[in-house]
Amino acid sequence: MIAWFASLGLPLVPIGLEAGPLSQWLYAAMRQAGLAVELLETRHVRDAFKAMPVKSDRNERVGSRS
């Protein structure tokens, strides 16, 4: 994964990793490689996605019908 990010040749913004069984070693390796990475709590990620407006609901595509 680290090699893939490096191969993009693009300036990288901070990378967010959701906390999980493999995230601690991945976070440490990515930081050691010089990548800007943050470890995020699962519940905070879930709450952030709930707050984001996503137009995937059929009613939202047609127009709000409460």
Q: What is the value of pTM for the model shown?
A: 0.53
CA angle 26, 45, 56 (to 5 degrees): 120
Distances (CA, A) of 17 to 23, 47, 51: 7, 15, 19
Whether the Cβ atoms of residue 35 and residue 5 lie closer than 8 Å to each other: yes
Q: What is the pLDDT along the chain (66 residues), one digit of tens a residue?
A: 778 877 888 877 788 888 888 888 989 998 998 888 888 887 777 777 777 776 666 655 555 554
Write the DSSP string, 12-61: PPPEEEE-STTHHHHHHHHHHTT--EEEE-HHHHHHHHHHS--TTSHHHH
Which residues pair with residue 38 across a beta bridge? 16
